[in-house]
């Protein structure tokens, strides 16, 4: 019998444990030397000047939205095929996330649609209306300026950034990279995190590297780096005295224990990513050519993949949701991934989405299935998952299609 297969596992060794314990024996448990070292290391990985540690990826995205100048009713273009934080961070500043559909191969934002949306939204009027959330159409007075693009590097594969960078330049928009799933990835040999005005990595325990909870903003813009340091620390400026607060800030600080853990994890990044790539290759080998299962496809612009999750597509007549249930019956976890943001109850209610607005996103949302995945997964575990998956996929198809095969 194969041991229980978890959905994900952190990859923590003795060096990490030692680093955290050593930190506990120091007098500085927040805003200390470990955070500074962790920030330098993350900035180097992204190939940029500055790193600013924060207590989650979501906090990091929020601060980037502030830096981009997003205020009441301002628009930020992103996708619905993501984790909900990619859009919520805009709402925190009372802005409006404007979703555009995604590329069917990668699930990343479609740069052609972004170019059309930006042109129409800048022009205003009826042309702009069709890009807005249903509840805001015909209500242009409540809509502010278009400020930023927020592409997501879904599943660890960079979005097609060059055309987005062109569009942003032409219309003077900021680019915030949601690189929370893509640390160590590269787009045309350029590191994820170096492609926009600022980018965010996340370190929740299911991410490639973890600090428990944590995030990191990386940027080449010095003024933004200073702003981020102030905003994460209750609005204190570097030159402020003790308890002097220049602006409205937050407690988004990352503690030294997390930073110590993160620093060791980053030192092991290449090793961890190589192990994840090996697990992905095991899956690919076993699932290639299996009827009604489509394995992940990597775009030619992705010169280095940072495997975050292994997501297959379960194609009709097989039934994704039935597959989830059948796998669960064998004790194997799996997750529909992503559930589109615009179909989440809160977004339906706030913005009037009803389904049908983003066909590619909704299709991917209905067929995508994340399988158990981590750097510490064994080949035997991958075997067990694949056997159960192939069986579940066959049994999930209606009888009429399988020609009455016993289920
Ligand atoms: C993980 C993740 C985040 C941030 O998550 P936190 O839990 O706040 O660290 C943001 N966007 C995407 C796409 C993510 O996968």
Which of ligand 1's atoms lies nearest the C-alpha of 207?
Answer: 1
Does 280 lie in the same domain as 155? no
Does 302 lie in the same domain as 231? no
Does 62 lie in the same domain as 31? yes
Does 198 lie in the same domain as 75? yes
The answer as to whether 201 is a domain residue is yes
Out of 228, 244, 268, a domain closes at: 268
Structural contact between residues 218 and 51, judged by C-beta atoms closer than 8 angstroms: yes
Q: Phi, psi at residue 82, to the nearest 5°?
A: -160, 180
Mutational pocket test of ligand 1: of 8, 85, 216, 341, the residue with most ligand atoms within 8 Å of the beta carbon: 85
Does 176 lie in the same domain as 76? yes
Mutational pocket test of ligand 1: of 59, 84, 180, 209, the residue with most ligand atoms within 8 Å of the beta carbon: 180
| pLDDT by position in tens, the chain (length 407) | 555 899 999 999 999 999 999 999 999 999 999 999 999 999 999 999 999 999 999 999 999 999 999 999 999 999 999 999 999 999 999 999 999 999 999 999 999 999 999 999 999 888 999 999 999 998 656 789 999 999 999 999 999 999 999 999 999 999 999 999 999 999 999 999 999 999 999 999 999 999 999 999 999 999 999 999 999 999 998 766 667 788 999 999 999 999 999 999 999 999 999 999 999 999 999 999 999 999 999 999 999 999 999 999 999 999 999 999 999 999 999 999 999 999 999 999 999 999 999 999 999 999 999 999 999 999 999 999 999 999 999 999 987 665 555 44
The answer as to whether 7 is a domain residue is no
Q: pLDDT at position 87, please?
A: 98
Does 82 lie in the same domain as 21? yes
Does 153 lie in the same domain as 171? yes
Cis omega (within 30 of 0) for bond into 291? no
Q: pLDDT at position 141, please?
A: 63
Distance (angstroms) between ligand 1 centre and the Cα of 75 equals: 21
Structural contact between residues 252 and 59, judged by C-beta atoms closer than 8 angstroms: yes
Out of 224, 251, 268, a domain closes at: 268
- Cα separation, 17 vs 55, in Å, equals 20
Does 208 lie in the same domain as 95? yes
The answer as to whether 81 is a domain residue is yes
Structural contact between residues 321 and 400, judged by C-beta atoms closer than 8 angstroms: no
- Cα separation, 100 vs 15, in Å, equals 43
Q: pLDDT at position 407, please?
A: 46
Distance (angstroms) between ligand 1 centre and the Cα of 35 equals: 20
Q: pLDDT at position 399, please?
A: 76
Query: How many structural domains are present in the chain?
Result: 2
Domain that holds residue 296: 270-399
Does 257 lie in the same domain as 323? no
The answer as to whether 1 is a domain residue is no
> Could you tell me the pTM of the whole model?
0.96
Does 319 lie in the same domain as 219? no
Q: pLDDT at position 245, please?
A: 82
Does 194 lie in the same domain as 51? yes
Does 59 lie in the same domain as 173? yes
The answer as to whether 5 is a domain residue is no
* Residues 6 or more apart in contact with residue 255 via CB below 8 angstroms: 29, 30, 55
CATH number at residue 341: 3.90.1150.10
CATH number at residue 207: 3.40.640.10
Out of 212, 236, 268, a domain closes at: 268
The answer as to whether 240 is a domain residue is yes
Pocket of ligand 1 (CB under 6 A): 56-58, 82-83, 85-86, 152, 178, 180-181, 202, 204, 215
Mutational pocket test of ligand 1: of 58, 60, 215, the residue with most ligand atoms within 8 Å of the beta carbon: 58
Q: What residues pair up with 75 in beta bridges, in sequence order?
A: 96, 146
The answer as to whether 195 is a domain residue is yes
The answer as to whether 95 is a domain residue is yes
């Amino acid at each position: 019998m194969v041991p229980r297969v978890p959905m994900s596992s952190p990859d923590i060794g003795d060096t990490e444990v030692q680093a955290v314990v050593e930190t506990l024996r120091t007098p500085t448990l927040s805003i200390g030397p470990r955070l500074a070292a962790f920030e330098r290391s993350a900035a180097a990985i992204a190939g940029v000047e500055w790193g600013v540690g924060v207590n989650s990826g979501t906090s990091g995205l929020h601060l980037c939205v502030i830096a981009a100048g997003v205020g009441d009713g301002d628009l930020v273009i992103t996708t619905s095929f993501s984790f909900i934080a990619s859009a919520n961070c805009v709402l925190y500043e009372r802005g409006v996330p404007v979703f555009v559909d995604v590329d069917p191969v990668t699930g990343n934002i479609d740069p052609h649609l972004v170019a059309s949306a930006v042109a129409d939204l800048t022009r205003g009027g009826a042309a702009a209306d069709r890009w807005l959330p249903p509840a805001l159409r015909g209500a242009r007075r409540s809509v502010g300026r278009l400020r930023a693009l927020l592409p997501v590097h879904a599943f660890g594969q960079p979005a097609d950034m060059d055309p987005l960078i062109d569009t942003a330049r032409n219309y003077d928009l900021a680019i915030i990279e949601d690189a929370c799933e893509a640390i160590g990835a590269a787009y045309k040999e350029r590191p994820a995190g170096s492609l926009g005005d600022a980018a965010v990595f996340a370190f929740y325990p299911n991410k490639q590297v973890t600090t428990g909870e944590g995030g990191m903003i990386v940027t080449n813009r010095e003024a933004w780096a200073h702003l981020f340091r102030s905003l994460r620390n209750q609005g204190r400026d570097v030159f402020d005295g003790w308890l002097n607060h220049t602006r409205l800030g937050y407690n988004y600080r990352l503690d030294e224990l997390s930073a110590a853990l993160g620093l060791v994890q980053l030192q092991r990044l290449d090793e961890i990513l190589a192990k994840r790539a090996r697990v992905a290759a095991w899956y690919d080998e076993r699932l290639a050519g299996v009827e009604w299962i489509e394995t992940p496809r990597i775009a030619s612009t992705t010169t280095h993949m940072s495997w975050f999750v292994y997501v297959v597509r379960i194609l009709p007549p097989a039934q994704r949701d039935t597959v989830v249930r059948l796998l669960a019956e064998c004790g194997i976890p799996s997750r529909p991934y992503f559930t589109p943001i615009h179909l989440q109850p809160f977004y339906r209610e706030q913005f009037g989405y009803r389904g049908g607005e983003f066909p590619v996103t909704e299709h991917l949302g209905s067929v995508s299935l994340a399988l158990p995945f981590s750097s510490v997964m064994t080949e035997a575990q991958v075997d067990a998952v694949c056997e159960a998956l192939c069986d579940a996929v066959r049994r999930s198809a209606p009888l009429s299609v399988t020609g009455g095969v016993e289920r």
